[in-house]
């Protein structure tokens, strides 16, 4: 467990998993100000780690849990977390029932993620009484794209963007940024969500994966450009006659590493993190490939 004090009243908790390369990836944000907030608790497997970190910060009460979406690596542990803290939970309406009765969410996670889901741990139900619709001083914004039930949150100058802008990592004083576009991906919806956050003006963006960047407009501008670049590269590959998904993924990744400046910083990642990223890069390309086949061919 590592606690990063990002700014006064804002902490980033690294939640490493017992999976190769799953460090500096899954995290929780802890904000202490007019209220104490946790943004995304992570999976059940590291709830004890998160609780220990909160206690180490001498925080005795958590008022609210904000969930950017209900994917197991962000929200799978919320039911377990509530056994430790009597917090209220805010999440997109589309996600609420899946957390109250998580069997389908768990089965879907197993189907898509397999052993990764097992390592994260089975989802514990959340009591219906734990949910609230809104909190004064916190703005929830619908940002579908990564998922139809995705939300972003604004507290003052902070924008908790989940995966709206993709995945972020600072490495060797360079920015690594890539889309997070699993199936079912719809380009126009993802772009509108980015533009919605752009409309907020310059904020300090707090990523679901991983860390903070102090200029959300810079990140948003690149995220839009990057989405178009990746979709066009996949379209060009498929239009060129390649139809094997594995070959498409291999070729597209190679081409993007040459022309996508921030994605090209993949070369600076440590080997185990590269392995982790390879899995999710393939997932993002798969989501875009389905979009290209359905809408551009």
Question: How far is 16 from 248, CA to CA, in rounded Å?
Answer: 31
The pLDDT tens digits for 42-61 are: 999 999 999 999 999 999 99
Mean pLDDT of 148-170: 98
pLDDT digits (tens, 9 = 90+) for 111-146: 999 999 999 999 999 999 999 999 999 999 999 999
Please state the domain extents for the chain. Answer: 2-216, 226-295
Percent of the chain with pLDDT over 70: 100
Torsion of CA 8, 68, 271, 282, to 10 degrees: -160
Q: Residue 21 has what DSSP assignment?
A: T
Which tokens in the block code for residue 2?
Answer: 């590592």
pLDDT tens digits, 203-229: 999 999 999 999 999 999 999 999 999
Confidence check: pLDDT of 166 > 90? yes
Strands (E), the chain: 2-7, 10-14, 27-32, 36-39, 64-66, 88-90, 139-142, 151-155, 158-162, 167-171, 174-178, 204-207, 211-213
Give 2-216's CATH code, choosing from 3.50.50.60, 3.60.15.10, 3.90.1150.10, 3.40.50.850: 3.60.15.10
**Per-residue exposure over 184-218, b if at least 16 CB sit within 10 Å of its own CB, e if not:** ebbbeebeebbebbbeeeebbbbbbbbbbbeebee
Per-residue confidence (pLDDT) for residue 150, from 0 to 100: 98
On the question of pLDDT at 280 being above 80, the answer is: yes
Q: Report the chain's mean pLDDT, rounded to a whole number.
A: 97
Cβ contacts of 47-52, under 8 Å, gap ≥ 24:
47/77, 47/80, 47/81, 47/84, 49/1, 49/13, 49/15, 50/13, 50/15, 50/77, 50/81, 51/81, 51/84, 51/85, 52/1
Contact in structure between 117 and 72 (CB atoms under 8 Å): yes
Q: What is the pLDDT of residue 242?
A: 86
Distance CA(209)–CA(218), nearest Å, equals 17
Report the distance separating Cα 41 and Cα 236, nearest Å: 39
Whether the ω angle into residue 198 lies within 30 degrees of 0, i.e. cis, is no
What is the chain's alpha carbon radius of gyration, rounded to the nearest angstrom?
Answer: 18
- The residues, any chain, with a CB within 8 Å of residue 246's CB and separated by 6 or more, are none
């Amino acid at each position: 467990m590592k606690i990063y004090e990002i700014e006064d009243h804002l902490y980033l908790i690294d939640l490493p998993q017992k999976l190769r390369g799953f460090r500096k990836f899954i995290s929780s944000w802890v904000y202490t100000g007019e209220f104490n907030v946790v943004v995304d608790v992570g999976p059940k497997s590291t709830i004890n780690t998160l609780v220990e970190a909160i206690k180490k910060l001498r925080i005795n009460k958590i008022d609210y849990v904000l969930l950017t979406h209900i994917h197991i690596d962000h929200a799978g542990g919320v039911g377990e977390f509530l056994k430790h803290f009597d917090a209220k939970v805010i999440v997109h309406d589309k996600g609420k029932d899946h957390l109250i009765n998580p069997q389908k969410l768990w089965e879907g996670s197993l189907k898509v993620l397999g052993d990764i889901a097992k390592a994260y741990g089975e989802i514990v139900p959340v009591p219906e009484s734990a949910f609230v619709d809104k909190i004064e001083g916190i703005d929830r914004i619908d940002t579908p794209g990564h998922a139809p039930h995705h939300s972003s949150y604004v507290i003052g100058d902070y924008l908790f963007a989940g995966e709206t802008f993709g995945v972020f990592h600072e490495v060797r004083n360079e920015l690594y940024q890539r889309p997070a576009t699993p199936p079912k991906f719809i380009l126009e919806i993802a772009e509108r969500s980015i533009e919605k956050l752009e409309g907020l003006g310059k904020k300090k963006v707090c990523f679901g994966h991983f860390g903070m960047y102090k200029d959300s407009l810079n990140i948003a501008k690149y995220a839009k450009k990057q989405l178009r670049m990746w979709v066009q590269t996949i379209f060009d590959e498929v239009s060129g006659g390649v139809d094997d998904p594995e070959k498409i993924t291999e070729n597209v990744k190679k081409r993007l590493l040459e022309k996508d400046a921030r994605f090209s910083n993949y070369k600076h990642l440590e080997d185990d993190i590269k392995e982790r990223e390879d899995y999710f890069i393939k997932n993002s390309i798969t989501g875009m490939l389905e979009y290209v086949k359905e809408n551009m061919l």
